[in-house]
Structure 1
C-alpha cells in the first residue's frame, strides 16, 4: 500500500503541499478530506461531567423574536448531497435502496438533472450553489488556486476562502430580516467573516491526524480504582502530537482460569471511572482536549498480553458560531466526528467496513445536528451538507479493468459498499425529516456535481518541469527565479499560472514573452497522450481570455485552464520523474460540467411544490439561490447569475 503522503497527494483539493521559494521553506498543513462500516450501532461517548454546560438553551442564541423580522409563508430546508450523480441516485431510488428519497419525491418533483459549474469541484460548486453566482463572481475557481499576492509556489484552499464579489443566500436573507442557518455547508464557517448565517456550524477543525498504534504493555501501576480482572492488569500509553497522552488499562474479564485479556480501558488520565471500555473490534469515542472539546474515535483491533493494536481517527473539535451554540452542540451531541478515512484505508490501518462505519458515524451526527437546529431555532432558511456519495464514490467506484486491483468480484463488492453508503444517506435524510413539516417547509434535495471512474494519475507539474518551464531544487522545492509556470490541480481540472513580471511578486516572464509561454503550455497539455492507448488526456485546454463562457473569467483563474477526459486524476505534486501512474483510488470529478457523469440531482418537495410524476427540465445549481429568494420573498444579490426555476416559481 502506498504511504499516507501519497494519499494526501491523491485528494489534492483537501490537502496542502510543502511549498518553498529559494532557500525559504513555507509549509501549508495537509488536510484530510471533508470532505466518514456497515454497523448501525454508533460509538459510545464518554463526556467528562466537569466539561458539561447548562442544559438550557442560552437566551442570547434563542430564536429571533418575530416582531423584529420578516416571517415568510414557508421556510426552506436545503440538503446538498456531495457527488450525488444523477443517474446513480435516481436508479437507487427506483430499486429500493433509497426509500426515503423516493417518498420525498412523491410529495414533489425532480429535475431531469442539475448541471453544475466548471470545474465540477466541491468548494467551487458549493460557493456557486449558495450564492447563485458563477466562479467569475465568487472567485472560488477550484478546490485550490493561486493568488498573485502570494509567493508563486503557494496556493489557497478553496474551502477556506471567502467569496470575492458575491454572497451566500443566507447572508442576503439575513439582511432581509429572515433567520438563517448554515449547518456544515461548504462556505459556511465562523472563520468566513462577512459570510455568517445567524447560526453557523462549520465542518470541524482538525487537531491531529489519525494513526494506527501498537502499544506495548507492562504490569499496571498507579491506576486508580482498577476494575476486577482475572489476570494481572496491564497498562501502556501513547502520545498524540499536539493533543496529549492516552493511557490504556488492559483487563481479563472472564473467570475461566485462563489468561484471556479482552478489555481495554482508555483515558487521558490513569483513572478507570471516566474511561471508555472496549472489547476487540469495538469502536468508542473519547474527549481528548477538554478546553476545546476535541475528541477522536477509537477502534481496538487486537489484544494480547504483549501489546494492543488500535486505530484512532483524526482528532476534531466543533467549529460553531455563536460560541454559546457551540457549547450546546458539544453537550448534546459531542465533538465533531472524523469522517471516513481514505488515508487509513490506503495504509491498511482500517478495512472497508471500518470506512463505512466512520461514514455512518459522521453522517448521522451531522443529520441529527441539522435536525435539532431546525427544530429548535426555526430558521426561515437552513442549508446543510452530507458527504456519503462523494466519500463512497472516490473510494469504491471500481468499474474499469484499468483500475488498480480490478476484478469482477471486487467490483461487485465495492458496488455494495456504495449502496451501503446510499442506505446510510437515506437514514440520515429520515432523521432530518423528523424535524420538518412539509406542509410548512419546502425541502430541496440537491447535489453539487457527479462522479466518474478514474484509472490514472497525471502529474501536471512534471509536464512543465520536463518542458523547462518549472525548475526544482534537489528537495523538489520551486526555484522561483528560474521558473516560468506552475500548476495547481484539483481532481479533473488544473489551473496553470505564468510567473508574469508585474503581477507575480518574483516574476520571470516579461509581457512580451507571455503569449509564447502561454501557447507553449496550451500545446503541451493539448498534445499529451496516454502512453497505453494513445488517447488524448485533456478534453479542453483554454487560455484565460476564453474562460468567460465557463464562468471562470476571474483573476484567480490560471493563465491556462484545462480539464481532463474521464479516467485521469490531475495531481500537482512536484519532483516526479514520470508523468503517468496508476491511480490507487477509484472516483473523481472536476470534469466538463456538461457531461452526464457530472450531472447531479434536484428534488423539491413540500410547501408550494406541485406533486408531479414527470421530471421538470434540467436546472442549474446557480438557480437554487434565486429560486429560494423568490419563495421567501426577498430580492437576491445583484451578483446572482442564476435564474428562478420557472416551473417552481411562476403561477
Structure 2
C-alpha cells in the first residue's frame, strides 16, 4: 500500500498525445505548461497494450489490467456465447464490459471519493464515484441534444446549407442600406424529434451587409440577439422534443463567422446543444449547480471536427471554443471534487487523437499523404492545437498545488501515419474460409469458417460459437493453415511482411494477451500497415495490399515509431512524492506500460492497486526509492579444468547443463 499520501491525484488523459510531437514542441518553447511539468516531474513513453487503441487502453489505464483480463480486447469484446462477429462495439467503454476493478472502486474501498470525467466505466459502480459525462464515440459526448454545425451559403458538402432571399412579410424590419435578407435556420436534434426553428435576418448598417439577427418570427422585435462578424451570442436556451431524451431544455450559442458585403458568402457557427438540467452528471443536482455557476456544459470536440475534418470552420472560432471548454472542465472538476470531497480525478479528453488522424499523415514523410508543399501548413496547425492542449493543462495547474497534489498526464497511444492497408477479406477470398452474401457486397460471418475483428481472429467453431460451422476435429489444422498464410503474407511492392507477428492464443501471453476473450489467432500489423474489413467489397477494391492515407494506431505494433510519428503513449508525472526533471533513458524505452498508471497513482494516493491490476508501481519516478541500479564488478569465474581425452564432434550449443563437463 502507498505511503506518500498526496492530497489529490489528478489523471488528465489526453487521447493520442504523442511523445515525438510533445518533445519537439516543448523544445521549441511553445508549451510552457508541459515544459513546467517536464522540469518539475518525470516524462516517459508508455507502451500501449494490444491493440494500441482507445477502449482497450483507457480501460487498462483505469484498472492496471491487460485486455485479456478486463475483456476489452478489440473495440469491445467478443464474449463466449456471442454470435459471430458480435463485439459489443457500442459498449466498449461501459462498466458492464470491463471485468477488472477500476481505481475509483479501489479508492472507494478505502473511503475515498473520485470524480470521473468523460471517461469509461459508466454506469457508475460505486456511490463514491461521481461521473461528469462519459465517453460515447470518443470525440462525442453521450449527452448532446444537437451536434454543432455551420450554416452557410457556400458550395461545399459540409455543415448546413441555407438560402437567403429578400425579407418579405415581416411586421418590422431594421433600417438598412440594402434590402434585408432572410433565411430559415433549424436546429436539428441528434436523435429523432423536433428542435427550434428561426428566421435569420441580414441587413446593412454600413455600405454592405454586416449585421445578423436570429428571430423567432418575421418580426425584428422577436430577435434573440444581433451579431457583427466575429461576435458571439449569449447562451440560447430552448426546448427540444426527442425520441431519446424526451422533452428537454438545452443551451447553445452562435457566432457570425463570415458575412461578405454582397451577402453571397455567409457562415454562422452554432455550438453543440447540451441539457441544462444536469443530467450529464451522475448526480443531476450537482450537474444543475455546475450549470448555474459555470454556465451550460461545453464539449468542443465536434466543433473541432468542423475545422479539421470538414474545413468549414475557422481556427479562431475553434480556439475560443477550446479555451471555453478548458475553463469549464477545469472549474467543473475543481468544484465537483470540493463538493464531494473527492481525492481522485480521472479524465479523458480526445483532442490530440481527433486532430492527429488528419494532420500527422501530412507531416510524416513515411506516410502516403505526405508532401513537402502541404507539410509546412500542417505543422503550423499541429502547433496551434498543441498550444490549445497546453492551455487545457494550464487551466488545471491554476488550482493544483504540486507541493501536496499529484498531476499525471497520460495518453493511451500515439498516431503513426499509414502507408498501406491490408485486406484479409481479399487475401482469404480464394481460400474457402469466407462465405459472401448473395450480392457479393459483404461477408456472411455467421456462415464463414473464420471471423476477425481488428487484431484478433476466431475460428467459427461448432459447439463454441452459436453459429459454428467448423467441426472440432478440424480446428487445429485450420488454425495452423490460417496462421501460416498470414505469416507469409507480403507486400508485393516492397517484399515486407504485412504482419509483425501472428500468434496462437496459447502463444499470445508473450505479448501480454491471454484469457477466454482473445482470438484463436492474435496479430499485429507491421509499422505503417492498417487493417480493413469487408468494406473493400463495397469499395470495389480487390487488392490485398494497397496504398491508403490517414493516420492509425490500433493495427500496428505498439512500439512502432518514425522520426515524426509514434505509436507510444505518454506519461508525465509531477507533484508530491515525485522526482524532478527525470526523462526516460533511451535504453528503457518501452519498459513502462499503460498497465503501470493505475498502480502508480494508487500508491501515490495511499491505497492499494485495483484488484486485477497487473502493472507495477513506477518506483523509479518516486522520491525515497533508489532509481539507479547497483554498481557491480565483473570478475572472471572460468575454471581451468582438464579437457576430455577424446574430443567430441562439434554440436549445437544448448543449456549449460548440456555442455561438456
TM-score (norm 2): 0.76
Whose Rg is larger?
2
Q: How big is each residue's C-alpha offset from its partner over 1:265-294, in whole Å with a ceiling of 9 and x where there is no partner?
A: 276998875735455576767556555454
Instruction: Select which of 379, 388, 395 maps to 2:358.
Output: 395
Structure 2 partner of 1:50: none
Q: For structure 1, which runs of at least 5 residues remain unmatched after alignment?
A: 1-69
Instruction: Select which of 445, 448, 451 maps to 1:483.
Output: 448
The residue correspondences of 1:21-420 to structure 2 (distance < 5 A) are 74-108=7-41, 110-157=42-89, 158-160=92-94, 162-185=96-119, 187-189=120-122, 191-193=123-125, 197-203=129-135, 204-205=141-142, 206-207=144-145, 212-218=159-165, 220=167, 229-230=176-177, 231-238=179-186, 240=188, 242-256=192-206, 260=209, 262-265=211-214, 275=224, 277-279=226-228, 289=239, 291-294=247-250, 319-331=280-292, 332-340=294-302, 342=305, 345-346=308-309, 349-350=312-313, 362-363=325-326, 365-374=328-337, 376-397=339-360, 398-400=362-364, 403=367, 405-420=369-384
- The 2-side partners of 1:119 and 1:94 are apart by 30
- The 2-side partners of 1:444 and 1:217 are apart by 50
The residue correspondences of 1:627-646 to structure 2 (distance < 5 A) are 627-646=600-619
* Cα displacement (A) at 1:442: 1.4
Count residues in correspondence.
Answer: 574
CA contact (8 A) 1:393 1:587 kept: no
Instruction: Select which of 518, 525, 528 maps to 1:567.
Output: 528
SS of the equivalent of 1:198 reads strand
CA gap of 1:496–1:316, structure 2 versus 1, over 3 A, is farther
The reply on whether 1:622 has 2:595 as its aligned counterpart is: yes
CA contact (8 A) 1:218 1:306 kept: no
Q: For structure 2, which runs of at least 5 residues remain unmatched after alignment?
A: 136-140, 150-157, 241-246, 626-661
CA gap of 1:420–1:220, structure 2 versus 1, over 3 A, is same
CA contact (8 A) 2:26 2:35 kept: yes
The reply on whether 1:599 has 2:568 as its aligned counterpart is: yes
TM-score (norm 1): 0.77
CA contact (8 A) 1:215 1:238 kept: no
* Cα displacement (A) at 1:580: 4.1
Instruction: Select which of 423, 428, 448 maps to 2:412.
Output: 448
Instruction: Select which of 571, 585, 592 maps to 2:550.
Output: 585
- The 2-side partners of 1:277 and 1:137 are apart by 56
CA gap of 1:235–1:320, structure 2 versus 1, over 3 A, is same
* Cα displacement (A) at 1:327: 2.1
* Cα displacement (A) at 1:413: 1.3
CA contact (8 A) 1:316 1:335 kept: yes
CA gap of 1:269–1:138, structure 2 versus 1, over 3 A, is farther
SS of the equivalent of 1:619 reads coil
- The 1-side partners of 2:250 and 2:530 are apart by 34
CA contact (8 A) 1:218 1:236 kept: no
SS of the equivalent of 1:170 reads helix
- The 2-side partners of 1:612 and 1:173 are apart by 29
- The 2-side partners of 1:78 and 1:589 are apart by 23
Of Structure 1 and Structure 2, the greater strand share is in 1
SS of the equivalent of 2:281 reads strand
* Cα displacement (A) at 1:619: 2.9
CA gap of 1:408–1:356, structure 2 versus 1, over 3 A, is farther
